[in-house]
Structure 1
């Protein structure tokens, strides 16, 4: 059933941002020049309760979400083409990559997120007869707690390379919680594993044009709590060799206007980091055998 427009949805806090992203993906899928096709985004947004009255800043954020989605689609395709057959989406939200991307034979995909969000998402997918294009497993867990034990119990094999995606969540974690997530990801990742992630620097979080959005996020218990100044150095400390793609370069590559929220002419040194990294060293101390 479609939830009436304006009626409060069941998701709150950071989970509520997943609805905004689903709406952006739905709108992109309706374009004749779409960068991806996500037919399940609309039904998931309907069931969750659409976010109405999106501001101009919210519309600009939608442009970022679209480019970000395509960037991470491509990184996951490249990662699995290079060998890894295990994919982990941390804080998966209303992501439907298990259904809409073409995966190599034998791919196992794990979606980790809060139990309530996943249970509601599973109902929508079942109601629409959605069938994944890979072996898909949902893992109810909170990234601020022990999420790796249920992931291992669900069948993740730390002896084989893994492609990780951490999209749109690290800035919502405290620096301590974010460090614990990256430590555990690194401990579980043998050489050949890949990591795709998004973060921001402090200058971006403090942009004057971001203040209204930051206030709204804080009011919904979804404040940004951390930032990273040098993503290459940041990930090198965990044993990853990272490359960073600038949004302006990505937009030009994909034939889209540079989003105002990422245009250096408008935001100066503020950055949204889109990162792809390779694990090519030994395991860190304490990693599982």
Structure 2
């Protein structure tokens, strides 16, 4: 979907690496246009969030085939940590090496399982918990249940100095409706079976009780800003440590 968005004349972002990942994986998406609009909005929004955070440390949780280290215009001195499973990072690095890609910031791959001691792996890779950090959990929490989500976000909080920020998709009701819709589609049932629903409560209230200041941005507002219609509901949450 990132590759398709990059080909649109009215694209909201350009990812020159997405097509190479698709070709290398010999992958065909069954999702069609169901998620395309959502992915375009969230990619554009999170791009701006990260480059505008003012933090010199950035951490992508379950980074996947994210290419932001290569395609965004980063400020000098930014160090970007990508946490994901070893086999995925190995595949990703091989494709990028074949393309001769060079990151636009200091990129640090952190092979780790988010169900295990990923904070230890992150520190060992050079992360400094005394310095502000911009966290991104893009498309991640829906794959975790409430307990797993709370544990992950608690660890994020423990590693976040004053001035840090965190962002992810936000709207429990919209996520529940999407899960119900996808589970009724045979071609997407395999994907839907992996979804666990996320935090399962008001994420903003949960974070504010733990020392974060939050704001949410709705997709309707972004549709107006981006000049593209959007019928989807929900939005995105950004939290900051004072």
Tell me, yes or no, whether TM beats 0.5: yes
Instruction: Report the Cα offset of residue 174 of structure 1.
Output: 1.6
Deviation at 1:217, TM superposition (A): 4.5
Secondary structure class of the residue paired with 1:59: coil
- Cα deviation, residue 127, structure 1: 0.5
Partner of 2:114: helix, strand, or coil? coil
Aligned length: 241
Paired residues for 1:1-289 under 5 Å: 24-52=1-29, 54-55=30-31, 58-80=32-54, 84-202=55-173, 204-206=175-177, 209-212=181-184, 216-218=188-190, 221-258=193-230, 260-262=231-233, 272-280=234-242
> Matched residues in 1 for 2:39 and 2:65: separation?
13
- Contact 1:163/1:193, CA 8 A, preserved across alignment: yes
TM-score by length of 2: 0.92
| CA deviation after TM superposition for structure 1 residue 77, in Å | 1.4
Q: State the shift of 1:59 in Å.
A: 0.5
Distance 1:186 1:133 in 2: 27
The 8 Å contact of residues 150 and 199 in structure 2, kept in 1 or not, is answered as no
What do residues 65-120 of structure 1 show as CA deviations (whole Å, max 9, x unaligned)? 0100000001111102xxx1000000101100000001110000000011111110
Asked if the contact 1:242/1:277 (under 8 Å) is kept, the reply is: yes
Q: Where in structure 1 do 4 or more consecutive aligned residues deviate above 4 Å?
A: 217-221
Secondary structure of the 2:63 match is coil
Equivalents in 1 of 2:187, 2:198: separation in Å? 16
User: Cα offset for 1:199?
Assistant: 4.0
Which is further off, 140-149 or 95-104? 140-149
The DSSP-based 3-state class of the residue aligned with 2:126 is coil
User: Following the alignment from structure 2 to structure 1, what is the Cα–Cα distance between the partners of residues 240 and 213?
Assistant: 5
Gaps of 5+ in 2: none
Structure 1: runs of 5 or more not aligned = 1-23, 263-271, 281-289
Aligned mates of 1:41, 1:107 — CA distance in 2: 23
3-state SS, counterpart of residue 45 of structure 1: helix
